[in-house]
């Protein structure tokens, strides 16, 4: 896939900033997303995503919509227990709601091994399973031959889940240290 | 549905980053940086790449301090964001002091806080503290004190 339609790169218009200190947050702990059919989504996240089913709960009251209910399916990654919650949301009449796709752009899982080769192997095994990525595999930087002009350095491929949530599977993201080793303190605009 | 291929050989290790829609990038950037001390790591202008141009989006990237980005805020310049595809996300406070500092900042910013975990069926380790709050776009964020051995 060419990095841009015109094959020109635009990374000179991406501004990057050095990050040299930890925040108050260590990591993302959990994400809960709405799905229309837990079984359908569970199969997708198990089959393509490689997540493991932890548990599916009985219906419970919606945490902030009086009269509504939710049913939760907890999925785990290899090193991250119950990191994803698949939720069927029901209105007071019991009808399952349809996710809008407009709360988050995508969410990203880091693959075991965390290297470029692992992402390409994941993309290959996904293709073998009949899954087609909507983007990638690609590297999010401006370096040829893989770079797409984006930022972060991660190698990634993206798939839509059954509710058209965009899910990224990635590895080899820049850390602050190797990012600095590559670019020093030079900002994106100055690297053009 | 695609054919079942069994357990994939290459599987995810963890949830790594999350990219949420916001309606006002500056307002949300101020919120996340002030409350969580997230580090602003990159900015993609609407024309920074083919992907951004085609999707009519503008992204701000934030780091927890190790990876280039962990949370990203996206403004879609054509479509309206909502809260109807995500119930919440959880941020693990780095330690006890960070957990308390976030709560203190929330009070100073007059952000209402709800004690405990957001979803009743979510598991909590013994002694683990948690609370929830909403960002300027009403995204629910759960803050949990990370427990280290």
Question: Domains in chain B, ordered, with CATH?
Answer: 18-145 (3.10.180.10)
Q: Which tens digit of pLDDT belongs to each residue from B46-59?
A: 666 666 667 778 88
DSSP-derived secondary structure letter, B44? E
Q: Which tens digit of pLDDT belongs to each residue from A11-43?
A: 334 566 666 678 999 999 999 999 999 999 999
Tokens at A131, concatenated:
């899954």
Question: Do the Cβ atoms of A64 and B133 come closer than 8 Å?
Answer: no
Residues from chain A that touch B90, judged by Cβ atoms under 8 A, are 28-31
Contacts A–B by Cβ distance under 8 A: 323
Question: Do the Cβ atoms of A161 and A37 come closer than 8 Å?
Answer: no
Residues from chain B that touch A40, judged by Cβ atoms under 8 A, are 1
Tokens at B51, concatenated:
């992907």
**B88 Cα to chain A: minimum distance (Å):** 5
Rounded distance, CA B40 to CA B17, Å?
Answer: 14
Rounded distance, CA A33 to CA A87, Å?
Answer: 6
Best mutation target, A4, A12, A26, A56, to test chain B (most B CBs within 10 A): A26
Rounded distance, CA A154 to CA A123, Å?
Answer: 14
Closest CA to B142 of B108, B102, B101: B102
Work out the average pLDDT over A133-149.
82
Question: Do the Cβ atoms of A113 and A102 come closer than 8 Å?
Answer: no
Nearest to A128 among B5, B39, B67 (CB): B5
Contact B122 A79 (CB under 8 A): no
- pTM confidence score: 0.91
Closest CA to A105 of B21, B87, B138: B21
What CATH architecture applies to the domain A100-185? Roll (3.10)
Rounded distance, CA A185 to CA B39, Å?
Answer: 15
Reported ipTM: 0.92
Best mutation target, B29, B46, B49, B73, to test chain A (most A CBs within 10 A): B49
Closest CA to A96 of A135, A161, A40, A172: A40
| pLDDT of A83 above 80 | yes
Contact A89 B87 (CB under 8 A): yes
Tokens at B34, concatenated:
């002030």
Element at B30 (helix H, strand E): helix B25-36
Q: Which tens digit of pLDDT belongs to each residue from B64-102?
A: 988 989 999 999 888 899 999 999 999 999 999 999 999
Work out the average pLDDT over B29-39.
95
Residues from chain A that touch B5, judged by Cβ atoms under 8 A, are 47, 125, 128-130
Residues 36-75 of chain B with CB under 8 A from chain A are: 36-45, 47-54, 57, 59, 61-72, 74
What are the domain boundaries of chain A?
A: 29-99, 100-185
Rounded distance, CA A169 to CA B12, Å?
Answer: 7
Question: Do the Cβ atoms of A92 and A131 come closer than 8 Å?
Answer: no
Q: Does B16 touch chain A (CB under 8 A)?
A: yes
Closest CA to B99 of B88, B115, B110, B87: B115
Question: Rounded to an integer, what is the distance from CA B127 to the centroid of its chain?
Answer: 24
Q: Per residue in A28-37, is it b (16+ CB within 10 Å) or e — as a string?
A: bbbbbbbbee
């Amino acid at each position: 896939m060419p990095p841009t339609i015109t094959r020109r790169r635009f990374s000179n218009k991406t501004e990057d900033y050095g990050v040299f200190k930890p925040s108050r947050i260590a990591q993302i702990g959990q994400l809960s997303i709405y799905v229309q059919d837990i079984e359908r989504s569970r199969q997708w996240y198990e089959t393509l995503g490689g997540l493991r089913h932890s548990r599916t709960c009985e219906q419970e009251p919606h945490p902030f919509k009086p009269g509504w209910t939710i049913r939760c399916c907890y999925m785990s990654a290899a090193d991250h227990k119950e990191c994803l919650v698949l939720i069927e949301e029901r209105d007071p009449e019991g009808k399952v709601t349809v996710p809008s796709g407009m709360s988050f752009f995508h969410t990203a899982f880091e693959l075991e091994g965390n290297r470029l080769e692992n992402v390409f192997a994941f993309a290959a095994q996904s293709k073998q399973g009949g899954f087609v990525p909507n983007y990638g595999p690609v590297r999010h930087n401006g370096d040829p031959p893989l770079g797409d002009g984006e930022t972060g350095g991660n190698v990634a491929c993206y798939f839509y889940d059954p509710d058209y949530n965009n899910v990224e599977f990635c590895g080899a993201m820049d850390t602050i240290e190797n990012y600095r080793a590559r670019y020093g303190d030079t900002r994106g605009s100055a690297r053009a | 549905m695609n054919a079942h291929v069994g357990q994939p050989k290459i599987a995810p290790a963890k949830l790594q980053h999350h990219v949420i829609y916001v309606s006002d990038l500056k307002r949300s950037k101020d919120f996340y940086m002030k409350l969580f001390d997230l580090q602003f790591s990159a900015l993609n202008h609407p024309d920074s790449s083919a992907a951004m141009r085609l999707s009519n989006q503008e992204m701000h990237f934030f780091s927890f301090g190790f990876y280039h980005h962990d949370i990203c805020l996206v403004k879609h310049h054509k479509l309206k964001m909502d809260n109807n595809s995500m119930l919440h996300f959880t941020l693990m406070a780095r330690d006890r002091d960070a957990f308390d500092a976030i709560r203190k900042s929330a009070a100073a910013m007059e952000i209402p806080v709800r004690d405990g975990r957001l979803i009743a069926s979510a598991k909590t380790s013994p002694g683990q503290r948690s609370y929830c709050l909403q960002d300027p776009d009403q995204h629910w964020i759960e803050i949990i004190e990370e427990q280290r051995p």
